[in-house]
Amino acid sequence: MRLSASLAAVLLASAFSCLPAFSLTPEIRDIDITLTLQPDGSALIRERWDVCAADGTEWYLVRGNLGDIEIKDLSVSDESGRSYIYEGDWDTERGISEKAGRCGILRKADGAELCWGIGSLGDHVFDAGYTMTRCVKTLDDYDMLHLQTVSPGLSSAPEHVRVTVRAAEHQLDTANTRAWGFGYAGRVDFRDGAVVYESTEPFVRNSSVIVLLRFDKGMFDS
């Protein structure tokens, strides 16, 4: 039996509609974080996430065990240059289109989640900025920064991570700072007046980046 052109087109379209939709693979290709420590011990933080969002409606950063640290001044933009609207308290119970172009903070008993809408599935580069107060802690003989900057259990294991810690009014070097890093396979180096934590191998599921720095007295009034 011969089919008319119009009937053949309908059958062909129906056949393709039965095929499974193309599925994305979640990826975190690169995380680049810079902490700039202020004289009062607070940190101005800038993060760039190069990712493929394969499902869900939002991206979020987990910040736990904050103690007296406060997170404020969240800002987010994406690869298009779009600046997101800051909502304050974040409402998770919305769809992908309702969260698009918006960001906020979900406060929890043990910390906070910094959240924003992904807008669409697929490749994105997100830039997030925020302030964490009271990051540098005062000790009797030294001052200290002890902070988890990349949390474990992400949607996929990052392929590469770099965390740079600077001081706004000091060059960090081996004369005034000691540095240790935990939770990942990689290096800790002093470079150009900063301390750089950088992975040399892709993360595994429970990898993280924990920064531990000891500063000489007089560098911060925290």
Give the pLDDT confidence score for residue 184 in this predicted structure.
97
pTM listed for this prediction? 0.88
Q: What is the DSSP string of 5-48?
A: HHHHHHHHHHHHHTSPPPPP--EEEEEEEEEEE-TTS-EEEEEE
Strands 161-167 and 27-37: parallel
Give the pLDDT confidence score for residue 9 in this predicted structure.
43
Q: Per residue in 32-90, pLDDT tens? A: 999 999 999 999 999 999 999 999 999 999 999 899 999 999 999 999 999 999 999 99
CB 139 within 8 A of CB 159: no
Q: Per residue in 146-197, pLDDT tens? A: 999 999 999 999 999 999 999 999 999 999 999 999 999 999 999 999 999 9
Give the pLDDT confidence score for residue 14 in this predicted structure.
42
Rg of the chain over CA atoms, in angstroms?
A: 22
Alpha-helical (H) ranges within 60-218 are 96-99
